[in-house]
Amino acid sequence: MPDYSAWRLPIPQDRRSGLAISSVTSRVIVILAFSLILLLLVLPLAILLWRAMPGWTAGIWRLPTVISALRLSLFTSILTVIISIGLGTPIAYVLARYRFRGATILDILIDLPLVLPPAVAGVALLVAFGRNGTVGQFLAEFGIELPFTTAAVIIAQTFVSAPFYIRAAKSGFAGVDVRLEQISATLGESALGTFWRITLPLARSALIGGAIMTWARSLGEFGATILFAGNFVGRTQTMPLAIYSALQSDLNVALALAAILLVTSAVLLVLLRLVAP
């Protein structure tokens, strides 16, 4: 075995000191960056929880408006997750397993709501499914009106949050070894049986993680909802919309609602870390 140690070039003393200075400088920059970003992210949230405590202990969360908004948010967001799973799972599997003409375009279209401004999403839904919208006019002939209804809330939430599930599910399916599916097929298992017994269990963590992200995004949806569904108590006023209304009348109620959403979001993120490490 030849000795390559002689090939190593000696590092001058001044270079070593330069590396040491650079390392210390880098550490200071990293610590400063972490401190500033944590100050920016954590301080407002901590103050929010602190300011919400008096109203919370006073029982503001039991007000009818708060209960109504919370109930509607839970109902619509859970239904949105169910719809996203039902429609998004086969789409994610096809995108992960097959290459076909137009797949890239379809992939881009699915990702597009993730980067669209919420106001654009709301206007798009309104001109498509509104009373005078392109599709809404035909629906109106059958007595179906979507804007400013609970159904509009679900549509808006699905529009902006379903891509989160599809992205996660696609990654999960792509991570499953296709040879396992092929072996299952050679053993006589049907395509659907292979999907249920092999593919789905192996991609389970990604699917659950995507569902949690979809749920969290649905709970926080505001822009598309207020434009397409309006802000009607008991019918379309979800938690974010209730916060917006309360800011104009009662700050304590707004703080209590915001604190509920903050805690809920934190819990969902913890669940996401547990199921999709």
Q: Among residues 34, 58, 82, which one ends one of the domains? A: 58
At residue 173, the 3 state secondary structure works out as helix
Of 162, 144, 148, the residue nearest 83 (C-alpha) = 162
**Any domain includes 162:** yes
Confidence (pLDDT) at 52: 86
Q: What percent of the chain has pLDDT over 70?
A: 89
**Any domain includes 2:** no
Please check whether residues 107 and 17 belong to one and the same domain.
no
Q: Would you say residue 69 has pLDDT above 80? A: yes
**Any domain includes 15:** yes
Domain harbouring 173, CATH code: 1.10.3720.10
How far apart (Å, rounded) are the C-alpha atoms in residues 70 and 256?
11
**Any domain includes 42:** yes
Q: What's the one-letter identity of residue 82?
A: I
Residues 6+ apart with CB under 8 A from 231: 237, 241, 244, 245
pLDDT band of residue 90 (cuts 50, 70, 90) is very high
Summarize pLDDT for 143-181 with one digit per residue, the tens. Answer: 899 999 999 999 999 999 999 999 999 999 999 999 998
**Any domain includes 181:** yes
Cβ atoms within 10 Å, residue 117 = 10
Please check whether residues 127 and 43 belong to one and the same domain.
no
Summarize pLDDT for 93-102 with one digit per residue, the tens. Answer: 999 998 888 8
Please check whether residues 145 and 230 belong to one and the same domain.
yes
Please check whether residues 26 and 120 belong to one and the same domain.
no
How far apart (Å, rounded) are the C-alpha atoms in residues 96 and 203?
12
Cβ atoms within 10 Å, residue 129 = 22
The stretch 212-216 carries a mean pLDDT of 93
Range of the domain at 30: 11-58
Please check whether residues 52 and 85 belong to one and the same domain.
no
Please check whether residues 18 and 143 belong to one and the same domain.
no
Summarize pLDDT for 181-201 with one digit per residue, the tens. Answer: 888 888 888 888 899 999 999
Please check whether residues 175 and 193 belong to one and the same domain.
yes
Q: Among residues 39, 58, 77, which one ends one of the domains? A: 58
How far apart (Å, rounded) are the C-alpha atoms in residues 28 and 24?
6
**Sign of the torsion angle spanned by Cα atoms 54, 56, 62, 64:** positive
Please check whether residues 126 and 243 belong to one and the same domain.
yes
- Largest separation between any pair of C-alpha atoms in the chain: 87
Summarize pLDDT for 30-48 with one digit per residue, the tens. Answer: 889 888 988 898 899 999 9
Q: Would you say residue 121 has pLDDT above 60? A: yes
How far apart (Å, rounded) are the C-alpha atoms in residues 72 and 212?
18
Please check whether residues 24 and 137 belong to one and the same domain.
no
Please check whether residues 93 and 35 belong to one and the same domain.
no
How far apart (Å, rounded) are the C-alpha atoms in residues 49 and 259?
6
Please check whether residues 155 and 230 belong to one and the same domain.
yes
**Any domain includes 4:** no
Across all residues in the chain, what is the average pLDDT?
86
Confidence (pLDDT) at 57: 66
**Any domain includes 1:** no
**Any domain includes 5:** no
Please check whether residues 69 and 50 belong to one and the same domain.
no
With 0.85 as the threshold, say if the pTM is over it: no
Helices marked H in 98-231 — which ranges? 103-115, 118-129, 136-141, 150-174, 178-186, 191-194, 200-202, 204-219, 223-228
**Integer angstrom CA distances of residue 88 from 94, 133, 154, 199, 209:** 10, 26, 15, 15, 14
Give how many domains the chain has, as a whole number: 2
